[in-house]
Chains A and B, each alone.
Chain A
Amino acid sequence: MNKTNYLKFMGYRYFKVTQGADQTVQLAKDDTKTNAAALNFGEFALLGTTGADIQVVVTAAAAAGLRGANTATTDFYTGADLANLTGTLTPAAGESVLIPSGGYAVGATNGVITIEASGGTGGDGYDLASGDIVEVYAYYNAGTGSGHQHDGLVVPATNLTGIDPISDITTRISFKSALGTQVDDTVLLIHGSGKYKDVCKMIAAACNAHPHGGRLITICDVYNGPSLPLVDQFDLGVIGTNIYYAA
C-alpha cells in the first residue's frame, strides 16, 4: 500500500513588532489598518483567558518610554532587577517588561492589542516610545482544562508544496490548502536565527521517516511539549508556530 507520513503542527502564536509611539499593536489584519506583516498571526476570537493564554512583553529601545507603577520589577528574559524601580519609572534601553493582563485590551476579532497608558487604572500600562519592541505569545483555549487542542493542522507529507525563508528567524512551510482550490495553507515557524536550512532538513527527515509505514509525526507543539525529537535533533529553538488557513 502507498503510505505517507502525516505532519502535525500545533499552534503557539508569536509575533514581534517594532512600534512607533503608538499604543495599539496590530498582529492580524484589521479593516482599518494595513500592516501587511501582521497577516499571519490570526484573530484572538478563540482566546481562552487573557493573561493566561496571552503574554505581552515590551522591550525598550531607549530610555524613553514609561512603565506603569504595577508593572514587573524584573526583566522578563533575564530576571534581573530593572534599572529604575522608584521615582519616574523610565525603562532602560534593552529592558524587557511583562505587561500585566490589566494593562492591555485584546480586540478579539481584529488582532489588535491596545496597551494602556502608564497612568491608567491600576498602573498596569506602559507608554510606548518609538522603536520599542512588542512581543506577543498567544495560544488558543489553553485555559479550558482540555489542553491545547484548538489550533492545529495535520497534513499528509505529500501535500507539501515548499519551504521558504521569510526572515532570519521565520520560515514558511506551505501545503495544498484544505479548501481544495489553487491556494496554500501555511505554517510560519519562528525559530532561532539562521536556522532555515536546518528547518528544511528537519521537514525532509520527517517526510521520509518510517519508510515502511506512514506515521503521524509531531513537528511542533510548543505549549504541550516544547521538546520534540526532530526539533531537538536539529537544534531549531522553535518558540512559535503560526498556522494560517487560506481564505
Chain B
Amino acid sequence: MIAGLLAAGVRHFTGVQARWFGCDPDTTQRVYFANHTSNLDFLVLWSVLPSNARSQTRPVAASDYWRGGSLRFFLADRIFRGVLIERKKVTRSNNPMDQLVPVLQGGESLIIFPEGGRTTETDMRPFKSGLYHLAKAMPTVDLVPVYIDNANRALPKGEFLPIPLLCSANFGTPLRLLPDEPKDIFLMRARAAVEALAKT
C-alpha cells in the first residue's frame, strides 16, 4: 500500500514518461540496468513499472549508503526490499553475487546501476563487472537497458530537496551474454545500449 502510494507520488512529482521501445511493461523476469546520476533514478524507474511487476522487482543498493540512517534503512529494507550489497571492500565472504543470484533464482527481477555510484559528469562511467557475473550465472534472464533522463536536474547529487522537472525513462531491447563473449566486450556493449537510448 505504502509502496503503491509512494510510486504514484513519484510519478506525479517527476511527471515521468516511460517509453518502452524494446520490451513491454509486464512481469517477465528481468535485470534492469540504468545510468545513475541522482537518488531519484531508482524511484523513477521503479515507479513506472506496472504494480504487479514492481512488487517482484528489487533494487540493488550500496550497503554503506543505505544503512547510514534509520529512515534510509527502513525505506531500503521494508518499502523497496532492496538487496543491500557491499561495494567498497568486497571479499570472498561478502561477494554480492551470493546475494543477487538467489534473488534471480527465486524468480524476482533486479534493478542495478552498473556505474557503481552516481556520476556528476555528462558521460557515463565504465560499467563494473557485476552485470557480467549476473549474466553469466543466469544466462536465461533478460537484461534490459534503461536510460533515465533529467533525474540529475530534478535532484542533483549533493542536493536534498528535489525540483519537479519532467523526467523520462526509456526502456531498450533486452540483451543477453553471448556464448564466449569476453567480459570487457560485454560490458561495453551493455553501456552502449544505455547510451543509445539517450538519443531517442
Is the pairing of A and B real? no
